[in-house]
Amino acid sequence: MKITQNDIILDSDPRIRLKSEEVELPLKDEDRELLQAMLEYVKNSQDEEIAQAEGLIPAVGIAAIQLGIPKQMLAVVVPDSDGIHEAALVNPKIISQSVQNAYLENGEGCLSVKDEHPGHVFRHARIKVRAYDLIQDKKVVLAASGYFAIALQHEIDHLSGVLFYDRIDTVNPWKEDEEAEVI
């Protein structure tokens, strides 16, 4: 299975707002194949040569609902100063979160959102997520901070039908939080 840009649904498609269903474990072959293809899409989208050849939009994550499949599955590949954080998660649940916020200085984007939605999206600076991880082939608890935490929260939001721009303050989109970590 290979995912292309044409497989990704946009925010104009009402399916993007569906709540995703839990996935039965152990994974069925079709779910394993889908999640592996999602992970591969994200990795390939970050390789300039492959992305250009295959017409992929660069991404750090994707959720199954973005393919019109309402299953609690997501793939994230986040390069940062610590190296590369990769996860291919099934049934992810945030089990703890910091009081401190974090946000991307220039705002967030999304494969399913073509229009500009400028503004800060406040998220937790640190989270712990319980899930089954396809890469490690076991149930895990991931501790995430910084950009990795933001990417995970963005994708987990998709599983509830929430898009990043739903979290932007409509009155003051660029408002700041003095205590927040700015990335």
Q: Report the catalytic residues.
A: 155
Torsion of CA 23, 28, 34, 39, to 10 degrees: 80
Could you please report the per-residue DSSP string of 111-126? TTB-S---S---EESE
Instruction: Give yes or no for a contact between 131 and 177, defined as CB atoms under 8 angstroms apart.
Output: no
Distances 47 to 40, 52, 73 between C-alpha atoms, Å: 11, 8, 23
Which ranges in 46-145 belong to alpha helices (H)?
A: 48-54
Could you tell me which of 76, 58, 70, 99 has the C-alpha nearest to residue 155?
A: 76
- Tell me the HSE value of 56 on the side-chain side, using a 13 A CA sphere: 23
Instruction: Give yes or no for a contact between 166 and 113, defined as CB atoms under 8 angstroms apart.
Output: no
Structure tokens that stand for 168 in this block: 């932007």
